[in-house]
Every structure is written in C-alpha cells, then in structure tokens.
Chain A
C-alpha cells in the first residue's frame, strides 16, 4: 500500500541567538508552537497529538525534559511521545509526526521542541558523554574532533583545503545574512575564517556551528483535514532514515562498508526518501537543499551523499557557486546548521526551511522558483541520518 499524503500546514521558529535569559526552556517551545499554530490558523483543540523533539537531556539540564514541554504544546491528556536521535532528532521528529498522520491515528499532529545550548556551560563536555564508556569515553572525543577526523579522511581521499572549507562558511554566512532567524548573520571572508583560531585541526572557530538557543515547531495534517478545511499546504513526499555503526574506527581500515570520510548512511537515507518521492535524478529534480552540516567540511560529503554531486567532486562545485543562492541547487539558503544550531530542533529547522522555500515563504533568502527540496539531519557520532522530501 502507498502511504497517504501528509502536508505541512504550519511552521514556527525562534529568532535564534546564543542565550535567551528572558525565556525558560518551556517558554521557548511555546514561542515556536504559537508561531506554527498561528500560521496553521488552528486552536490547540485541533491538535490530535504531539511528537516532542529533544536530544540529550544533559544539554537542557533536565532529565526527561520533554515533561516540561507538555503544557507548552497543549499536550495534556493527548497522545504525546518524544524522539531522540541525537542531532537528527528534529528530522526524526518530523518523520515520527508524519507516521502519526500516515498511520491514520491522527489528523493533525504538532511536532515541537527547543534547546538552550548556549546555557549548558559546555556542549562538548556533555557530548563527550555520548561515547562508549567501555573503550572510548576516556579519550577526548567530541563532535568537533569527530568531524575534524572525518575531514582528514575526506582530504586524504578526495582533496580539500582549509580555504575550501572557508568558502563553505562564506557561502552560508552570506545566506544567513538574509535570514532574520539565523544566529550568526555576519558575513565573513575566506581570510576571516583562516584567521580564526584553530579548534581541532583542520577545523577553526569559524568552521564551527554556534551554540544556539531557541525553539522550532511544525504542524502536519492529513490530506482529508487539509481538503476539508481548504488549507494552504506543502507536502512531505519522501521520508527515509538509515544508521551507521557507532564505531568510528570501523569506518576505516580494511573492508569497511561505510568510510568516515563519507556519509554512507546519509546516502541511504536520502535514496530511501527519493524512492518514496519518485526522485531518480536528484541533480535535476531537486531545486533546493537544507543539509545538516554543523562544520564546514561536512557540507561536502553531505552534498555528495544527497546525490547533488558525485562522490569526491563537490569541492570545486562549491567553489564555483553551484550551491549558493543564485546557483543551480542552493544548499543551506537559510545559512544552515553552520550558522544556527539549537541541537534539539536543528534538524527540524532544516525541514522547516525547505518547506518555506517550496512554499514561496522564505522571504529574503528565497530560492526563486523552488518547488521541491530536501532536508537532512545527522545524529550521534555521525551515526543516525534522516531525510525528508518536501514539495509544493
């Protein structure tokens, strides 16, 4: 059987920033939820259920912090559950909301969450705790070092310079300057990036995502509800997830299925969603992409995994402007994760931004004529990947 169509009828997001001392964590959730409900023009009574988007509890500092979000999403006495796939949580939550509707269980589903990464003290300290206590916790693993190591292998396999990485930052900051919700909106030059301090070779400060605070929310609905209420909508036509081995060391050496240089499972997640959406030639059939890439170097293997460039070939294409607004397939016209990273919702914002694009509602960072786009999310130690296809 083919799954019923599921539409996006409302989107809300905070103007992201480092700290929100004016708002508690549930306040931030509420902020985004109100935005989404307003756009969907719905009361809470219309919401059949909620999927709550929240990754490590430790980042927010509250165990099972979703319990504090119940009232923010109007969830009392309603179906409610939480999703966590690390950094991919936001996109996995959208997918989970999609299944709530596609299963026939709910007509209207809210997915929402927030994060206060800037408040947690040190996100890398928390993120070190995602590593295996048996063999790896004692080493100074963190997400920055992990993706720096991915960059080293990418460089070794295909070639990539620090300047190439810097050009990704330049591109995304330029996009973010057009996006009032982005956190880092100041444009930078290659020289600025090269002069920023070295964090973890080859990743420098400006190659890194910020620690952002803010909320995100989306309302999904069944085709039946949308038709009955004559709602303005864009459609989710493809959803896919795939996972790699937890062990980074298994993604290298001899005989590996996935290489740490690449994003193998992201590729599989993409193609699962493409199959559902009827996409056979991504380079021709995709107008815009919001690809989860918290560090500049990771945008390369993400573009390739999505099939928007052949493996190992995206570097010169980024340099040529193929993936900039105005180019053939803009990647991260919102500025992407590199400019805004409120971990619990970052991957949801990827879907939200692609939805806004194909809806024609992206404002200053609109990609002209975009009708079909993809969003991706990454989580764990480059382990969990989700992809969503959105169409007008």
Chain B
C-alpha cells in the first residue's frame, strides 16, 4: 500500500499595533538607551516591560519609572538544541529584575562561555548580578538590549 504525503507551509505576515505604552517604552530605548516600567496603581508594583494596565489588578498603570541598567537574574536557561526558526545554539537567556522594577524582563544573557553547562549555570544562578548592554544601532525592539554578568 503506497502512502502519500503533501507539504504545506503557513505564510502570513502580521502588523501588530503596539499601543502607546509599548511604543513609548521602545522609543525611549531606541533614542535614549533608557528602560522604563509602569506602576500598578493598586499594588505599587513597577511592571517591566510596561503595560497600560495591570492584568493582576485590572487598573490602569500610572507613572513611568526608570529602571536598570543594573539588575540581577531571576531565572535563566541555556539552550543547546537547535530548533527551526530559533537561534543556533548554545545561547543563554532568562528573566532579569532591573533595579527599580518589581517584575523581571526577558532577554539574552551574553558574553560567557557556555561550553560546560554546569559551570555556566553556576555563574548564571538566581541572584547573579548583570548589567544591561545596549546595541549600537537600535530600532526600538526588545533585542536592542541584552545582559552581561558583572
């Protein structure tokens, strides 16, 4: 019995409106190399990345708060496997709590030797101090910055 197959690829481009809050965050990043969070009016938590409202309390956020560039690692992982459409391994990324922020923001962690997972993991352990690095050419994108251990 001959079993046949067909191939299909999905090919759609989306233009997602970022809204005023995310747009302001990205323009500050692009033009001034600064990072900001927004404060949840009810709990006082500074949310990074910033949003127009807190999903926890459902109230609009108030006031911009500058955060970082120093911070520490709240969690991380190091990827050694190649996946279609994702970067070639190895790479480390995780969530970093910037000074002044109450939540952690995702980003790549670069500049360390990842060849020995256990050794690298020790360096990246929760609490490890990092400094935000900014790209020379920034476009207003989350990849305009990354983190390096200090």
Contact = CB atoms under 8 A, between A and B. Distances in A.
Judged by CB atoms under 8 Å, the answer to whether A and B touch is: yes
Interface of A: 21-22, 58, 61, 121-122, 124-125, 128, 133-136, 138-142, 144-145, 148-150, 152-153, 156, 197-203, 245-250, 252-257, 260
Contacts of A250: 47, 55-56, 103-104
A58 B9 CA distance: 10
B63 interface: no
B106 A135 contact: yes
The interface residues of chain A, by DSSP majority, are classed as: loop
Contacts of B78: 198, 200-201
A188 B126 CA distance: 31
Given A61-B8, A135-B22, A139-B107, A249 B95 contact: yes
Interface of B: 3, 5, 8, 10, 14, 16, 18-19, 22, 43-45, 47-49, 55-56, 74-81, 83-87, 91, 93-95, 97, 101-108, 117, 120-121, 125-127, 141-143
B67 to A, nearest CB: 11
Nearest to A133: B16
B108 A199 contact: no
A198 B81 CA distance: 7
Contacts of B93: 139-140, 145
Given A149-B94, A153-B75, A135 B81 contact: no
Given A145-B77, A249-B95, A260-B75, 17 more contacts: A61-B8, A128-B83, A133-B14, A134-B19, A134-B49, A141-B106, A142-B86, A152-B77, A153-B74, A156-B126, A198-B117, A200-B77, A201-B77, A202-B117, A247-B55, A249-B48, A253-B103
27 contacts: A21-B5, A61-B10, A124-B86, A125-B86, A134-B16, A134-B19, A134-B49, A135-B49, A138-B141, A139-B143, A140-B79, A140-B86, A145-B79, A148-B77, A156-B125, A197-B81, A198-B80, A201-B77, A202-B121, A245-B55, A249-B74, A249-B105, A249-B106, A254-B45, A254-B97, A254-B102, A260-B75
